[in-house]
Amino acid sequence: MANVLEVKDLNVTFSLHDGDVSAVRDLSFVLGQGETLAVVGESGSGKSQAFLAIMGLLARNGRATGKAVLGGTDLLALSPTELDRHRGLDIAMIFQDPMTSLNPSLKIGRQLAEVLVRHRGQSDSAAWRHATEMLDRVGIPEAARRADSYPHELSGGMRQRVMIAMALLCEPKVLIADEPTTALDVTVQAQMLELFKTLTDDFGAALVLITHDLGVVAGLADRMMVMYAGRAVESGSVDDLFYAPNHPYTFGLLHSTPHVEDSGQRLRPILGLPPSLEHLPTGCAFHPRCAFVMPECRTARPELTHRGGGRHAACFYEGELKEKEAAE
């Protein structure tokens, strides 16, 4: 499988009034053509900031270093004008709340057509026609009529479909979806997940799915990367990580998640709270909450190392992870 995106040593730092804070540290990964990679983590894990940095969309006090190579071009080395040519064309991103991402005063069709006029140099009428075709392809009923509506006239699920249509217009190689179903009702979420399943096949795009919902990951992703306090702590195939996690944090997340098909199960939360990025613990950032902590975890930080079968984990403990009764 050819790689469409290669990220190497990505670091994202924000300057705050009392110093710098690292949101993403030494992040490296590759994304294969047509694959779906889930990026999993809780708030503050850096999962969204890493991809905003790749898209050149960081807040003004944010800086990114490292490389993000897409089709031979390092996106992080481009000037804002050069980056504009790639954004929307080769790589596109959609967000949790479609209402705040759409222009409320422009008709849906116009917003989509603008993308084609700008990136593809199409005429207004051809662009409008392509826009309605794309709305139809993402499952919007009566697409020609809906193209004539304003965002507030559509439901939440329809708006998210419009966002997806807009992102796919130029057939990007990479689509980044940041919590795309979190704001939707369960039955609408199911429709959207079905749509995402067909996207990678129909459009040949690789999908990055940023989410905190392990249910969504299990149904959609091929591989996953788990982040904690700005770093990748484990990556590998979805099956490997769900059925035999190597990192205690992945293990903890899985045991914290209630399962709709199982009522007898007792939840085993991860103890404590996620650390503040301004005051990270020494050694492994997860060690104060880890049920498998060892003395060296407090002083040294484990590197992300290869564990065979395309898996990586950053943990000194290499034994089997089993539930510890005494962990409470």
Partner 1 sequence: MSAAGPILSVQNVGKIFGLSAGFLRKPLILKALSDISFTVNEGETLGIVGESGCGKSTLGRCILQLLTPDEGKVLWLGRDLTTLPAGEMRKHRRDLQIIFQDPLASLNPRMTVGGIIADPLRTLMPELSQKQRRAKVIEMMEAVGLLPEMINRYPHEFSGGQAQRIGIARALITEPKLIVCDEPVSALDVSIQAQILNLLSELRERFNLTLVFISHDLSVVRHVSDRIMVLYLGRMIEYAPRDDLYNDAKHPYTRALLSAVPVPDPRLARARQITELVGEIPSPINPPSGCTFRTRCPYALPLCAEKRPEIEPVDAERTVACHRWREIADGAPPTQHAGASA
Q: Looking at beta carbons only, is 172 or 275 nearer to partner 1?
A: 275
Q: Are 249 and 286 in contact (CB under 8 A)?
A: yes
Q: Token pair 């992080």 is at which residue?
A: 76
Q: Which tokens sit at 14?
A: 């924000």
- We find the least distance from the C-beta atom of residue 287 to partner 1, in angstroms, to be 15
Q: Looking at beta carbons only, is 86 or 161 nearer to partner 1?
A: 161
Name the site residues for partner 1 (rule: CB under 8 A).
42-43, 155-158, 185-191, 193-194, 212-219, 238-239, 242-243, 252-263, 265-271, 273-274
Q: How far is CA 300 from CA 270, 286, 295, 296, 297, in A?
A: 21, 12, 9, 6, 6
* 22: β partners: 13
- We find the least distance from the C-beta atom of residue 252 to partner 1, in angstroms, to be 6
Q: Looking at beta carbons only, is 70 or 164 nearer to partner 1?
A: 164
- We find the least distance from the C-beta atom of residue 56 to partner 1, in angstroms, to be 28
Q: Looking at beta carbons only, is 98 or 157 nearer to partner 1?
A: 157
Q: How far apart are CA 204 and CA 217, in angstroms?
A: 19
Q: Looking at beta carbons only, is 5 or 140 nearer to partner 1?
A: 140
Q: Which tokens sit at 113?
A: 């057509």
Q: Reduced to 3 states, what is the DSSP secondary structure of residue 326?
A: helix
- We find the least distance from the C-beta atom of residue 69 to partner 1, in angstroms, to be 29
- We find the least distance from the C-beta atom of residue 177 to partner 1, in angstroms, to be 15
Q: Which tokens sit at 63?
A: 């800086």
Who contacts 167 (Cβ-Cβ below 8 Å, separation ≥6)? 88, 92, 93, 94, 175
E strand map for the chain: 3-16, 19-32, 36-40, 62-70, 73-74, 91-94, 174-178, 206-211, 223-228, 231-237, 305-306, 312-313
Q: Looking at beta carbons only, is 101 or 237 nearer to partner 1?
A: 237
